[in-house]
Amino acid sequence: MDTQRLPRRELLRLAGLGALGIGLAACGQSAPASAPTAPATPVEPTEPAVAGPDDALARLREGNLRYVADKEGHPNSSPARRATVATAQHPFATVLGCVDSRVPPEMIFDRGLGDLFVIRTAGQTLDRAVTGSIEFGAAELKIPLLLILGHERCGAVKATIDALNGSGEAPGDIAMLVESLTPAVEEARARPGDLLDNAVEINVNHIITTLSASPVLADLIKGGQVKIAGAIYDLDTGAVRFL
């Protein structure tokens, strides 16, 4: 192209287009913007390892005090904790409790994922599956504490009292519950005080006696690796009374 013959206005237009091209080329050669930094993986605050049965029991006591005072810490409840226990579990206490919807062990003891090995039946009644589950927790998972948790105004115990008094029925497999709880009710009749309250506590003690005779548990109890304790939950206050 003979630029000497172009009008001045055309020369200026061409010069402008050239500058624009250089600028676009420079933009295309600039370094790409850095990708957003991923948030750091949250770290779950760690507790010291449980030192044994007494330490495990102390943690349950402390957790219930927090629950009653409305000062729960909700430990071990984060996504980081979920990831940790996805590969292995190391609960520090087995809790055999009632199916009553008002007595969720993880809540009343202020514990989180992987802390408690929970088994629940009406009136904490035992059968082979329940006993085997408890034995598995103690022998295979090395859980140092077994807590038998009863609660006031237990419906299963009340149903047993009514059935024995002839004022209630026990259809289907509810009859099995009544059969299991009858010894505690009969023993409670001989004691002064409230029949239902006494039967609930006696039932907890009967379960402790039965499980202590388990061949699997007896050796662990004798060796100090496992302790069995009993407790009663107060529906009104949220407090756990350890026996």
Q: Tell me, what CATH number does 136's domain have?
A: 3.40.1050.10
Residue 70 lies in a domain: yes
Residue 172 lies in a domain: yes
Per-residue confidence band for 12, with pLDDT thresholds at 50, 70 and 90: very low
Bridge partners of residue 145, in order along the sequence: 93, 227
For the chain, percent of residues with pLDDT exceeding 90: 78
Number of structural domains (the chain) is 1
pTM of the model: 0.81
Per-residue confidence band for 47, with pLDDT thresholds at 50, 70 and 90: confident
Residue 110 lies in a domain: yes
Closest CA to 240 of 66, 33, 41, 118: 66
Residue 7 lies in a domain: no
Range of the domain at 168: 53-242
Mean pLDDT of the chain: 88
Residue 106 lies in a domain: yes
pLDDT at 18 over 70: no
What per-residue confidence (pLDDT) applies to 10? Answer: 53
How far, in Å, are 11, 18, 20, 53, 130 from residue 2 at the CA level? 11, 17, 22, 99, 100
Q: Which residue has the higher pLDDT, 185 or 10?
A: 185
Q: Which residue in the block uniquely carries the two structure tokens 């599956």? A: 129
What per-residue confidence (pLDDT) applies to 42? Answer: 54
pLDDT at 228 over 50: yes
C-beta of residue 171 within 8 angstroms of C-beta of residue 133: no
Per-residue confidence band for 211, with pLDDT thresholds at 50, 70 and 90: very high
Residue 80 lies in a domain: yes
Per-residue confidence band for 168, with pLDDT thresholds at 50, 70 and 90: confident
What per-residue confidence (pLDDT) applies to 14? Answer: 45
Residue 108 lies in a domain: yes
Residue 113: both structure tokens together: 């994922």
Span 28-35, average pLDDT: 50
Residue 2 lies in a domain: no
pLDDT tens digit sequence for 107-118:
999 999 999 999
Residue type, 214: S
Per-residue confidence band for 40, with pLDDT thresholds at 50, 70 and 90: low
What per-residue confidence (pLDDT) applies to 46? Answer: 74
Per-residue confidence band for 3, with pLDDT thresholds at 50, 70 and 90: very low
pLDDT at 145 over 80: yes
CA-based torsion, 214, 217, 218, 221: positive or negative = negative
Q: Which residue in the block uniquely carries the two structure tokens 């495990």? A: 56
How far, in Å, are 29, 99, 109, 116 from residue 144 at the CA level? 65, 23, 17, 11
